[in-house]
Amino acid sequence: MNRTLFAEHALLPDGWRRNVLLQWDEHGVLASVEADAAVPAPSAGIERAAGPLMPGMPNLHSHAFQRAMAGLTEFRALAVANDDFWSWRDLMYRFAARITPEGIGAVARWLYIEMLKAGYTSVCEFHYVHHAADGQRYANVAEMARHVVEAAGQTGIGITMLPVLYQYSGFGAQPPREDQRRFINTPDALLGLIDSLRGTHGEHAALRYGVAPHSLRAVSGESLRDVLAGLDAMLPRAPVHIHIAEQTAEVDACLATEGARPVQWLFDNFAVDARWCLVHATHVDAQETVALAKSGAVAGLCLTTEANLGDGVFPAHAYLALQGRIGIGSDSHIAVDWRSELRLLEYGQRLTRRQRNVLAAADEPFVADRLVGAALAGGALATGRAVGALRAGHRADWIVLDAEHPTIAGQDPRTWLSGVVFCEHGEMPVRDVFVGGVKVVDNRRHRDEDAARADYRAALDVLLDQA
Ligand code: NGQ
Ligand code: ZN
């Protein structure tokens, strides 16, 4: 039996449409999406959306455990002359050393509820804390990952689990540091971890797998080739995500040891295409920008984290002009709101170019509409799942906006996304959220938020007590 919802306004692939009837099946997949439908009579018993519908946003980059340290590194330690990405990473590693399987489950469950309430309906989890604190394997090699996957299942968010391959501490196969021991695997061990997770938790419309070579600092060309070959034997064309060129020190080290910049090196050595997500790609030169755009790979931009860590500014204007694909991620979760990511994407360009509406295009003069469209399409591609559009065959994932929110009330649909993305006035204009056709957020509340919040609070006590 199909389920049905009627919406007076919905953002379809061709823009805002009136009187949209959506039908989906028992697996949570849209069976039909019809615009200009007859308005159903009240007696028909068809549910009406409480406001305008837009597709749920994919979050293409998350390290769930880092949610618990958001706000705890916003001070300069006196001993640190240059507080930067690398000093932050030392603090983050100290935190990563303390997280337990139950702890990561509780943190992820609360985080995913925050994501859902913000309108993120899919997440790509770049998961790298695999082993016990002393580096010993857990009896189940996927013990940490399974808690994250189960957290996603409990909250309802769709997940692409990307177990991370981490082997080295720097270019030239430098041995890992002591504080990286929880992350370390060979390509074979990592493929075994994915295989074991598939065995225990299966694979379905809300759960897919891929692989994440952590960065060119943490893998070698050979191990990257090995893990991709193994992945293809198991899950052909599954997504591949990699951190790249986030810091200039990485660019310099890559030039020194490999004789090429990181993105250039990757393109010279691998067939980078639409299955790839290059996370950050902040420091790309003009040639790399063209190569990335032409490849069809997704640039995984994590604007609030990149700003927080002082990474730099991605050349979004040039890249989007070349039709490059983008998606957005909340990464360290200093903010969990896709609107902040998109706003900062445009504002970085405004501040450096001293212009307005920089990321508008000839065929889409409204910046927010262009960026929402790009982040839905690119983000969906990065998940490897059929999401990101209200279209038959795609997951029934959408946000119901509050049309009476002061930020958009009384306006024409043409400016709704502008208000939603650029304005910050009080509570979010996200009212309800459906994932796989199930209403998991109802009038700004997630069905499990009280219990999840209490568990998160208890997990924090354990984590912070030992600090
Ligand atoms: C991470 N985060 O893996 O959590 C990284 C830091 C690194 C970001 N790059 C570690 N934002 O890149 O070595
Ligand atoms: Zn990251």
Question: If you take atom 1 of ligand 1, which residue's CA is the nearest one?
Answer: 63
Please give the number of the atom of ligand 1 that sits closest to the Cα of 128.
3
The ligand whose atoms approach the alpha carbon of 61 most closely is 2
Q: Does residue 333 have its Cβ closer than 6 Å to ligand 1?
A: no
The ligand whose atoms approach the alpha carbon of 241 most closely is 2
Catalytic residue among 130, 147, 241, 280: 280
Please give the number of the atom of ligand 1 that sits closest to the Cα of 66.
4
CA of 165 to the centre of ligand 2 (A): 13
Each residue of 323-337: pLDDT tens digit?
Answer: 999 999 999 999 999
Please give the number of the atom of ligand 1 that sits closest to the Cα of 218.
13
Q: For residues 438 and 440, what is the distance between their CA atoms, to the nearest angstrom? A: 6
- pLDDT attached to residue 77: 76
Please give the number of the atom of ligand 1 that sits closest to the Cα of 279.
9
- pLDDT attached to residue 63: 98
CA of 255 to the centre of ligand 1 (A): 20
The SS3 assignment for 129 reads coil
- pLDDT attached to residue 81: 77
Q: For residues 185 and 176, what is the distance between their CA atoms, to the nearest angstrom? A: 11
Is-contact 206 28, C-beta < 8 A?
yes
Please give the number of the atom of ligand 1 that sits closest to the Cα of 331.
11
Q: Which domains does the chain have, with CATH numbers?
A: 4-54+390-450 (2.30.40.10), 56-383 (3.20.20.140)
CA of 214 to the centre of ligand 1 (A): 8
Long-range contacts of 136-145 (CB under 8 A, 24+ apart): 138/101, 140/196, 140/200, 141/189, 141/192, 141/193, 141/196, 142/193, 142/196, 142/197, 142/200, 143/101, 144/101, 144/104, 145/193, 145/197
- pLDDT attached to residue 345: 99
Which burial class, exposed, middle or buried, applies to 350 when counting CB atoms under 10 A from its CB (0-12, 13-18, 19+)?
A: middle
Can you read off the two tokens belonging to residue 340? 């902040």
Q: Does residue 246 have its Cβ closer than 6 Å to ligand 1?
A: yes
Q: What is the dihedral of CA 361, 362, 365, 367, to 10 degrees?
A: 0
Q: Which residues surround ligand 2, an ion (CB under 5 A)?
A: 331
Residue type, 69: M
Q: Does residue 308 have its Cβ closer than 6 Å to ligand 1?
A: no
DSSP state of 28: S
Q: Does residue 331 have its Cβ closer than 6 Å to ligand 1?
A: yes
The ligand whose atoms approach the alpha carbon of 125 most closely is 2
Can you read off the two tokens belonging to residue 194? 């994915």
Question: If you take atom 5 of ligand 1, which residue's CA is the nearest one?
Answer: 89
Per run of 10 residues, the mean pLDDT along the chain (length 467 residues) is 90 98 97 98 95 99 98 85 91 96 98 99 99 98 98 98 98 98 98 98 97 98 98 98 98 98 98 98 98 99 98 98 98 98 98 98 97 98 98 98 97 98 96 98 98 98 80
CA of 320 to the centre of ligand 1 (A): 25
Q: Does residue 155 have its Cβ closer than 6 Å to ligand 1?
A: no
- pLDDT attached to residue 449: 98
The ligand whose atoms approach the alpha carbon of 170 most closely is 1
SS3 annotation, 404-425:
CCCCCCCCCHHHHHHHHHHCCC
The ligand whose atoms approach the alpha carbon of 85 most closely is 1
Question: If you take atom 4 of ligand 1, which residue's CA is the nearest one?
Answer: 63
Is-contact 322 294, C-beta < 8 A?
yes
Is-contact 324 301, C-beta < 8 A?
no
Question: If you take atom 13 of ligand 1, which residue's CA is the nearest one?
Answer: 89
Q: For a pocket test of ligand 1, which of 89, 282, 328 has the largest count of ligand atoms closer than 8 A to its C-beta?
A: 89
Active-site residue flag, 130: no
Catalytic residue among 226, 311, 331, 369: 331
CA of 74 to the centre of ligand 2 (A): 18
- pLDDT attached to residue 82: 83
The predicted model scores a pTM of 0.98
CA of 372 to the centre of ligand 1 (A): 26
Active-site residue flag, 83: no
CA of 242 to the centre of ligand 1 (A): 10
- pLDDT attached to residue 1: 56
CA of 153 to the centre of ligand 2 (A): 22
Q: For residues 182 and 184, what is the distance between their CA atoms, to the nearest angstrom? A: 6
CA of 301 to the centre of ligand 2 (A): 10
Q: For residues 201 and 274, what is the distance between their CA atoms, to the nearest angstrom? A: 27
